[in-house]
Structure 1
Amino acid sequence: MHPSHRSAADARFDPWSPAFVADPYPAYAALRATGRVHRFEPTDQWLVPHHADVSALLRDRRLGRTYLHRFTHEEFGRTPPPAGHEPFHTLNGQGLLDLETPDHTRIRRLVSKAFTPRTVERLVPTVRRLAAELVDSFVEAGGGDLLTAVAEPLPVAVIAEMLGIPESDRAPLRPWSAAICGMFELNPSEETARAAVRASLDFSAYLRELIEERRKNPGTDLISALIAAHDEGERLSEQEMISTCVLLLNAGHEATVNTTVNGWWTLLRHPEQLAALRADHGLLPTAIEELMRYDTPLQMFERWVLDDIEIDGTVIPRGSEVALLFGSANRDPARFTAPDTLDLARRDNPHITFGAGIHFCLGAPLARVELAASFGELLRRAPGMRLAAEPEWNPGYVIRGLKELRVEL
């Protein structure tokens, strides 16, 4: 590794700095200009900033979300997590996001039987109704915080509706999810881990009861469909079902919330593009894709190196961790014309916001339905929406979003 590469990465890439979190894009440009891979000492990771490399590595089976299907922690040169964190790792480790083949293939096939394009199609009227109700209340109130009033309640309500979680039980869903997702940030603290463990135990206990209830009285919800899903005698275990439900809630709203809020913040800073969208709602489908590309809600995805790989002459040995920089890949001039320009009519837009390969986002069709519904309603019902206060970013870098977005109508 050339020493200048290391200093370039360390000097500019600083995921704990509020200034970097607020605008990581100049640092990404510097990383792309100085190499295809950079060693980042503080997290013991290799940063990969280019679209072609990120795209290829997402599909490369020599990398994995886990290594436990092939190695023990010790064989892989890693320290096992503390025993006290076990409930979080049990919950997280049995979900699609953190499994590799053969388990991933089996579970994804079973979940896909329950979560089909038809499921999403059936949800469209519900999503539109919920979006209309939330935006109506927001307009009646004369505006407020877009995050808590519209962006957050919509996807949480949709997933809860889909899973068949009664309305009276929904209040803790968002806090549970936030506590669990804290563990996906870089170097989480012991306090973060304890909160995640507590939420994992509570959420699992709640779902265990709900699954038991659905076994006795199946409904038309996704949990009943997951119980019924089987393939040549294979079924989901109870833990796999619980982990799948938690993943659907966490993955099914965190990114959608941030795409909505970050997207509106982007639009409000690009008045000419917003005016074009307000004049022609037909731009909405390409606009949503462009907002996902321009300011990516999940900036980084990590992968373990299961067998040595080589990037541009640098061998990255087995046991290493690579950090695929989605936010950087989506601004790569080698793949996008004028990548730093927001172009809501952009047609050639192969962003990798939903990932690629076997872990491609299962909920992508549902996310697009939700985004179209909430953006569409706000364009129709709040055509004069404007910023009421300069927003601040949350400290998290991996899951990157605003604390709030206060607007007036």
Structure 2
Amino acid sequence: MAAPSALAFDPWDPAFLADPYPAYAELRARGRVHYYEPTDQWLVPHHADVSALLRERRLGRTYQHRFTHEDFGRTAPPPEHEPFHVLNDHGMLDLEPPDHTRIRRLVSKAFTPRTVEQLKPYVRRLAGELVAGLVEAGGGDLLTDVAEPLPVAVIAEMLGIPESDRGQLRPWSADICGMYELSPSPETAEKAVRASVEFSDYLLELIAARRKEPGEDLISGLIAAHDEGDRLTEQEMISTAVLLLNAGHEATVNATVNGWWALFRNPGQLSALRADHSLIPSAIEELMRYDTPLQLFERWVLDEIEIDGTTIPRGAEIAMLFGSANHDPEVFEAPAALDLTRKDNPHISFSAGIHYCIGAPLARIELAASMSALLEQAPTLRAAADPERKPNFVIRGLEGLSVEVR
């Protein structure tokens, strides 16, 4: 196990954020697990280990179903952060069985494959309209003009949020997601708490309105979902709606801009895609692997485990490096190369195990719709300037992506 000072891993270094993949290669070469003192986490960089740990029941997204903060050797969050934690801790992403099992089962009754499939025409039409606007303007910011409005509108449409209210969703989401970065600042926490309160209050009113007049939307479906008399509580509905919005667009937005920036830097692959649109499904999987939107996924050690002879004690936190796992040469041939025809592509960008992304089918539909529309309507699309990368590590994306259509 390498000493912390010897690791190239530095999630606050702009050079690392610009391209973390060489550092990941060094981590993988040095061993299977590394203690990282600045965040008090155990870094796991190999695909086989990450894949196995995502299914490991001795780990958990929470520990509060088994331990108090004190019993687990952890400090309780500050009381002023409570609105964020109430919202976050009742979402199924941060729960373990039996609560996770119950909530996911109930949510799945509303968020069905049929529901997602029925959205396809709407997603394709909206993607076409957004791209048409970009083309008519001769270019613009791919992030704000296409990548962002598409998934936000789709999940808002699913939830039944009126168009007049949708402008608030992305700012709320961005402020809440700031808390998922490593060591968030007090200012970040304050913004997340405020957004949690405002978003929760808004959804309380929307849920009350849907109770009186149910519709065909997902909020109405969550209210109606039941199983042997079991129903979602009001807080679980609010937390689920926020989770579906946040997770339902953050990955898609960043996969879109990360993906197109990768294509612009690999003109041979872009030319092949423009010549053969049947590559779109495999291109989406490869772009998700190549520059992963979610770089890190954390789990608590509920019961002591051992990785490659190193004992990880109960109460520790493991940081599974998705970006590194997706570039592991033990699994992917020539992982540093972008290959849109890659056949064997078991990337873990949508996680695995019980926390596998429930919205993965919808994300793939959205990514395919925007890519198809851009290839068809903007065959000469190109980058107008090098983009600036967001100063984030966990959620990897760009500040914007300026493009031209000629």
Q: TM-score, normalised by structure 1?
A: 0.98
Deviation sequence 1:22-46 (CA, Å, 0-9, x none): 1000000000000000000000000
Are the equivalent residues in 2 in contact too, given 1:391–1:403 (CA < 8 A)?
A: yes
Q: 1:63 aligns with which of 53, 59, 66?
A: 59
Deviation sequence 1:108-139 (CA, Å, 0-9, x none): 00000000000101110110111011001111
Deviation sequence 1:165-188 (CA, Å, 0-9, x none): 000011110000000000000000
Q: Structure 2 stretches of 5 or more lacking a match? A: none
Deviation sequence 1:328-364 (CA, Å, 0-9, x none): 0000000111111110000100000000000000000
Q: Corresponding residue for 2:6?
A: 8
Q: Secondary structure at the match of 2:208?
A: helix
1:34 maps to 2:30: yes
Q: Secondary structure at the match of 2:74?
A: coil
Q: Corresponding residue for 1:250?
A: 246
Q: Corresponding residue for 1:89?
A: 85
Q: Corresponding residue for 2:98?
A: 102
Q: Distance in 2 between matches of 1:354 and 1:8?
A: 30
Q: Distance in 2 between matches of 1:380 and 1:325?
A: 35
Q: Distance in 2 between matches of 1:90 and 1:363?
A: 22
AA in 2 matched with 1:7: S
Q: Distance in 1 between matches of 2:375 and 2:393?
A: 29
Matches within 5 A, 1:170-185: 170-185=166-181
Q: Secondary structure at the match of 2:64?
A: coil
Q: 1:138 aligns with which of 134, 137, 158?
A: 134
Matches within 5 A, 1:116-195: 116-195=112-191
Give how far 1:15 is off: 0.2
Q: Structure 1 stretches of 5 or more lacking a match? A: none
Q: 2:382 aligns with which of 365, 380, 386?
A: 386
1:407 maps to 2:390: no
Q: 1:321 aligns with which of 304, 317, 323?
A: 317
Q: Distance in 2 between matches of 1:228 and 1:332?
A: 44
Q: 1:290 aligns with which of 280, 286, 293?
A: 286
Q: Secondary structure at the match of 1:170?
A: helix
Q: Secondary structure at the match of 2:398?
A: coil
Q: Secondary structure at the match of 1:147?
A: helix
Q: Distance in 1 between matches of 2:26 and 2:291?
A: 17
Give how far 1:82 is off: 0.3
Q: Corresponding residue for 1:350?
A: 346
AA in 2 matched with 1:6: P
Q: Corresponding residue for 1:360?
A: 356
Give how far 1:283 is off: 0.5
Give how far 1:215 is off: 0.4
1:274 maps to 2:277: no
Q: Secondary structure at the match of 2:119?
A: helix
AA in 1 matched with 2:102: R
Q: Corresponding residue for 2:203?
A: 207
Q: Distance in 1 between matches of 2:292 and 2:155?
A: 22
Q: Secondary structure at the match of 1:39?
A: strand
Are the equivalent residues in 2 in contact too, given 1:151–1:257 (CA < 8 A)?
A: yes
Q: TM-score, normalised by structure 2?
A: 0.99
Q: Distance in 1 between matches of 2:64 and 2:279?
A: 45
Q: Corresponding residue for 2:373?
A: 377
Are the equivalent residues in 2 in contact too, given 1:308–1:318 (CA < 8 A)?
A: yes
Give how far 1:48 is off: 0.1
Give how far 1:8 is off: 2.9
Q: Distance in 2 between matches of 1:237 and 1:228?
A: 11
1:234 maps to 2:227: no
Are the equivalent residues in 2 in contact too, given 1:8–1:34 (CA < 8 A)?
A: no
Give how far 1:47 is off: 0.2
AA in 2 matched with 1:351: H
Q: Distance in 2 between matches of 1:132 and 1:218?
A: 30
Q: Distance in 2 between matches of 1:8 and 1:378?
A: 44
AA in 1 matched with 2:182: L
1:263 maps to 2:259: yes
Q: Distance in 2 between matches of 1:332 and 1:93?
A: 32
AA in 1 matched with 2:270: L
Are the equivalent residues in 2 in contact too, given 1:8–1:30 (CA < 8 A)?
A: no
Deviation sequence 1:173-231 (CA, Å, 0-9, x none): 00000000000000001110010000000000000000000000000000000000000
Give how far 1:5 is off: 3.9
Q: Distance in 1 between matches of 2:92 and 2:292?
A: 22
Give how far 1:306 is off: 0.3
Q: Distance in 1 between matches of 2:371 and 2:300?
A: 37
Q: Distance in 1 between matches of 2:22 and 2:335?
A: 12
Q: 1:46 aligns with which of 27, 42, 55?
A: 42
Are the equivalent residues in 2 in contact too, given 1:8–1:31 (CA < 8 A)?
A: no
Q: Distance in 2 between matches of 1:122 and 1:226?
A: 18
